């Protein structure tokens, strides 16, 4: 799976503080940055960053490159937050609930 399939558009280097990950398919060592267009403010909950780093580490352990794992993990984390926000509201979900959303999201994105 390429990040281009799940992330909207390239972001110019140095543009603000947007959440961005390096393009894992960057040619010739000139990796671009990709803006993550998913995610919700509810991700600002205690432990959410731990879930993100664990997701990235898990993808890396499964054989993804550093850049692929960062890109895919960031998207999965943000998409999990979107799902919880639509079901539970923008605030009030817990970091552990993010982890429950990850396997179904991975299945959807792999098909």
DSSP alpha helices (H): ranges in 32-110?
A: 48-61, 66-88, 95-110
Count Cα neighbours of 84 within 13 Å in the Cβ-side half-sphere: 27
Is residue 7 within 8 A of residue 45, CB to CB? The reply is no
Cα-based distances in Å from 67 to 2, 26, 41, 85, 88: 11, 10, 24, 27, 31
Q: Taking the complete model, does pTM exceed 0.85, yes or no?
A: no
CA atoms of 99 and 58, how far apart (whole Å): 12
**What separation, in Å, do the N-terminal and C-terminal C-alpha atoms of the chain show?**
10
- Which token pair is 92? 């009030």
pLDDT of residue 33: 67
Q: Average pLDDT, stretch 56-64?
A: 94
DSSP state of 10: E
For residue 2, pLDDT over 60 is answered with no
For residue 92, pLDDT over 90 is answered with no
3-state secondary structure of 33: strand
* Residues of the chain above pLDDT 70, percent: 69
Q: Average pLDDT, stretch 30-48?
A: 78
Count Cα neighbours of 5 within 13 Å in the Cβ-side half-sphere: 9
Q: Average pLDDT, stretch 13-30?
A: 48
> pLDDT tier at 31 (50, 70, 90 boundaries)?
low
pLDDT of residue 53: 95
């Amino acid at each position: 799976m390429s990040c281009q399939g799940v992330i909207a558009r390239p972001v110019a280097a140095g543009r603000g503080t947007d959440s961005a990950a390096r393009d894992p398919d960057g040619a010739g060592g000139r990796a671009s940055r990709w803006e993550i267009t998913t995610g919700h403010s509810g991700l600002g909950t205690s432990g959410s960053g731990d879930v993100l780093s664990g997701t990235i580490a898990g993808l890396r352990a499964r054989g993804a490159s550093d850049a692929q794992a960062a890109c895919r993990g960031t998207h999965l984390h943000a998409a999990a937050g979107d799902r919880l926000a639509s079901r539970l509201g923008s605030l009030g979900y817990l970091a552990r609930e993010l982890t429950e959303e990850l396997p179904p999201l991975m299945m959807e994105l792999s098909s």
